[in-house]
Amino acid sequence: MRIKDIVQHSNAIPRQEALSIIAFALSMTKEETISCWERELARDQTLYIQKLLNERAHGKPFSYITKNKEFFSEQFFVDERVLIPRPETELLVEITIDIINKKADPLYIVDVGTGSGAIGIAIAKKTSHRVFCVDVSWDALCVAKKNAMTHSVTGHTQFVCMDVLEGFKKGKCLDVIVANLPYISSDEWASLMVDVKDFEPSVALQGGVDGIEVYRRLCYLLPYHLKENGYIICEVGGKTHEKKVRELFEATGLTVQTRKDLAGIERALIGTWINS
C-alpha cells in the first residue's frame, strides 16, 4: 500500500495524527513522510502502521504509541505504567525552580507522586539539586528511574516507593515539596475521555469520592515534615478543586497562594507556614 492510501483510509483519526503515527512507524519526520506520499510500503510496514492506527482509533493515547512525551523541553519515556505528563504541569516546575533559586543550599526537595519522574527529573536537571522522587506505584518508579538514567541525573535523584510522605522521618526536614497527585473525583471519573480513563493508570488519576483523598493524607503529614520556612507546591484541577485543597491547607495553618495556567485555570497552589 502507498502512504497516501493509508492516510486516506484512516478516517477514524485526524489526518495530522495519522501522519504523525506513520512518520513514527517509519522513523521519518512528517515532512519526509509527505514527500514520500506515493511510496509503496512493504507488507510488514503496512501491517505495523495499520496496527498503530487501529490502536489510536480505539483511544490509545499518541504518547503511549510513540512511548515518548516532551515535558519542560525534555523528552520522557512513557508507557501505560505512568500518567502522560501534561503541559500545564510545567507551571509547577517553573514555580518550584524559582523558589529553589531563592533559597540557600543544600535543600531537601521531594517530588510526591513522581509518575514518569518528569517533575523531579526536570528540577534536578535544571537546578543540580538532589531530588527525592516518591510514588506509591512500583511500576511508575521503574519508568521514572529509566528516565533519570536517560537524563543523566541518577547521581542527584533518589526513587522511593511510599504513600505520600509516610516513609520520611518526622522532624520538619523538608525544604520544598512538589506534588501532582490524583485529583479526579468519583463523579468526574464517569465523564472522562476514553483515552484517559481506559488507558492511563487509575492510581494516577482517582482522588477518591471528593477528589482530594490523597491531598488530605499529604496535608495531614505536612506539619511533621515541612520546614518552618519550607514550601509546598501542588497541582490543582480548576476552581472547585483549588478551593477544596486550599481549605485543607489553610486549616493546617499554611498561607496559600494560587497561580493560574496559560489557559487562565487555577493550576498551582503554593503553601508556606510563613505569614506574608
Residues that bind ligand SAM (CB under 6 A): 82-83, 85, 89, 112-116, 118-119, 134-137, 140, 163-164, 180-182, 203-204, 214
* Those residues with Cβ within 8 angstroms of residue 213's Cβ, 6 or more apart along the chain or in another chain: 207
CB of 197 to ligand SAM, least distance (A): 14
Query: What SS3 state is found at 173?
Result: coil
Nearest to 95 by CA among 182, 207, 180, 171: 180
CB of 6 to ligand SAM, least distance (A): 32
For ligand SAM, give the closer residue by CB, 120 or 230: 120
Long-range contacts: 206-211, Cβ < 8 Å, 24+?
206/182, 207/181, 207/182, 207/183, 209/185, 210/185, 210/244, 211/183, 211/184, 211/185, 211/237, 211/241, 211/244
Query: Measured in Å, how far apart are the chain's first and last C-alpha atoms?
Result: 66
For ligand SAM, give the closer residue by CB, 53 or 62: 62
CB of 180 to ligand SAM, least distance (A): 4
CB of 82 to ligand SAM, least distance (A): 6
Torsion sign over Cα 186, 262, 17, 140: negative
CB of 135 to ligand SAM, least distance (A): 5
For ligand SAM, give the closer residue by CB, 6 or 109: 109
CB of 134 to ligand SAM, least distance (A): 6
Name the helix (H) or strand (E) containing 182: none
For ligand SAM, give the closer residue by CB, 82 or 269: 82
For ligand SAM, give the closer residue by CB, 12 or 162: 162
For ligand SAM, give the closer residue by CB, 7 or 144: 144
Whether residue 113 contacts residue 132, with contact meaning beta carbons closer than 8 Å, is answered with no
CB of 42 to ligand SAM, least distance (A): 37
**How many C-beta atoms surround the C-beta of residue 53 within 10 A?**
22
Whether residue 101 contacts residue 129, with contact meaning beta carbons closer than 8 Å, is answered with no
For ligand SAM, give the closer residue by CB, 33 or 116: 116
